[in-house]
Amino acid sequence: MTRVVVLTGAGISVESGLSPFRGPDGLWEGHRIADVATPEGFAANPVLVQRFYNGLRRRLNDVAPNPAHVALVRLEQALGPEGMHLVTQNIDDLHQRAGSTSITAMHGELRKIRHVRTGELLPWTGDVPESETTWRPHVVWFGERTIGLDPIIEMLTRADVFAAIGTSGTVYPANQFAAIAKSCGAVTVEINLEPSGMDFDEGWFGPATEQVPAFVDRILHTAAPARRLHDCDN
């Protein structure tokens, strides 16, 4: 059985109408990252941070999954949860709304809030009062531990194919996944508007809504890539 691990970033949701993080129209334009995406920023100015994430959360009401999200559901349904796992850095819920179930949201989920002391999670689709300090956005800020890393690494060591879709590769630890998978014998594939500059075996360049369905067709309709034998095999 072919085992595929897919990593997605903000680029997969751009054609749904969401901005990427970086670049001229990026989400952080007009904000200092340290102010809105660090625990220190929240401690210093919770009103600014809650307002920022309330704005992002509202945007989710106006967008829908696109053909790239849907194609990854098709891949999961064809390979089963043992054959395909989706790791997303995205805090939007477009993969979940499209129907992906074998998924790790490693940077959290905008439509959840988290108790700052107990870690309890609540589903949350509306605004959080700007003065709220006990409940914070369930997102992973810089300097915080990402979600589900150990199982992700385990899956990368067993993958036949690793594909990174719509991510700039600027953020650790996700920017190490291709190297980990490759060192354990996976064929690594980048799907992006343009090359990120990281080392991949193959590049598929163009809009995700075109490239991802074509990539899924390739996986499903051609023989599994030959896997090299190596030390990571279980």
Distance of CA 197 to the CA centre of its chain: 19
Kindly write out the interface string for residues 132-161 of this chain, putting x where it contacts ligand BJW by CB under 6 A and - elsewhere: -------xx-xxxxx---------------
Does residue 192 belong to the site contacting ligand BJW (CB under 6 A)? Answer: yes
Per-residue DSSP letter, 102: S
Could you list the beta-strand ranges (E) of 18-107: 84-88, 103-105
* Distance (Å, whole) CA 8 – CA 167: 6
Nearer to ligand BJW, 80 or 206 (CB): 206
Half-sphere exposure of 142 (CA within 13 A, CB side): 11
**Closest CB to ligand BJW among 42 and 85?**
42
Looking at beta carbons only, is 129 or 173 nearer to ligand BJW? 173
107 is catalytic: yes
Binding of residue 14 to ligand BJW (CB under 6 A):
yes
* Position with the least CB separation from ligand BJW: 11
Q: How far is the CB of 4 from ligand BJW (least distance, A)?
A: 18
Nearer to ligand BJW, 31 or 227 (CB): 31
CA dist 102 and 109 (Å) reads 15
| Residue 119 in the binding site for ligand BJW (CB under 6 A) | no
The helix/strand/coil state of 193 is coil
Query: Min. distance of Cβ 227 from ligand BJW in angstroms?
Result: 27
Helices (H) and strands (E) in the chain, counts: 9, 9
> According to DSSP H, which parts of 140-207 are helical?
149-158, 177-183
Q: To the nearest whole angstrom, how small is the minimum distance from the Cβ of residue 135 to ligand BJW?
A: 16
Which residues participate in catalysis according to the annotation?
107
